[in-house]
Amino acid sequence: MFLNRRTPELPTPEQALRGRPVPEFTVPSRHTVLGNPLVGPYPEGLEVADFALGCFWGAERKFWQTEGVWTTLVGYQGGYTENPSYEEACSGMTGHTEAVRVVFDPAVVPYTELLKLFWESHNPTQGFRQGNDVGTQYRSAIHTHSPAQAAAADASREAYQKVLTASGHKEITTEILPAEGRPFWPAEAYHQQYLDKNPGGYCGIGGTGVSCPIGVAPVEG
């Protein structure tokens, strides 16, 4: 979660660290704030959303504070290394970004509301950085779990770009890609709900101050 002065550059699959077939650590069974299991299978009727918006400590707190969110889990996603460690992710040689898995009840909080929170909680125009956190692991990303999520994410990016441009901001660099084929690898136990365990800990999350339109696309099934 500290300033990385190396020029960020994504590795190729051939350059990326190999990782390991099984994780070197276990994930806590329950969320320290919400009390629900961190890993699935999840109850019927809940949906999964994956977001990356910089340091996952502060990002996770944004989502667990949202009504309708059932559990959250931080991890690594979008790269090549199997079961990576935090140190490996920080090396820039995994291709992963720090991500938050959000399990939510769409009857209480629609996916579009989570998209609004995502866009407004960071600066999605900064490429391989978020504020003072520099590195490919801090890039902005949305990994979608259905065609409906993909359509809503694309529409929200287009809508938010318009208001960002009108406010003098640059182009959005956020990746929007299917979660399929991009496994979510849970992070170490001490990263899970870090800011609940360390209330005065580093957050690193800050938005542009520009409000994001919502309800820009229907989300069905």
Task: Name the residues annotated as catalytic.
Answer: 55
- Count CB neighbours of 142 within 10 A: 27
Q: Which pairing describes strands 129-130 and 175-178: parallel, antiparallel, or unpaired? A: unpaired
The answer to whether 205 touches 58, Cβ cutoff 8 Å, is: yes
Query: What is d(CA 159, CA 211) in angstroms, rounded to the nearest whole number?
Result: 11
- Closest by alpha carbon to 13, among 165, 199, 181? 181
- Closest by alpha carbon to 56, among 121, 138, 119? 138
Query: What is d(CA 73, CA 191) in angstroms, rounded to the nearest whole number?
Result: 9
Question: Looking at the DSSP assignment, which residues form a beta bridge with residue 119?
Answer: none
- Closest by alpha carbon to 202, among 7, 61, 101? 61
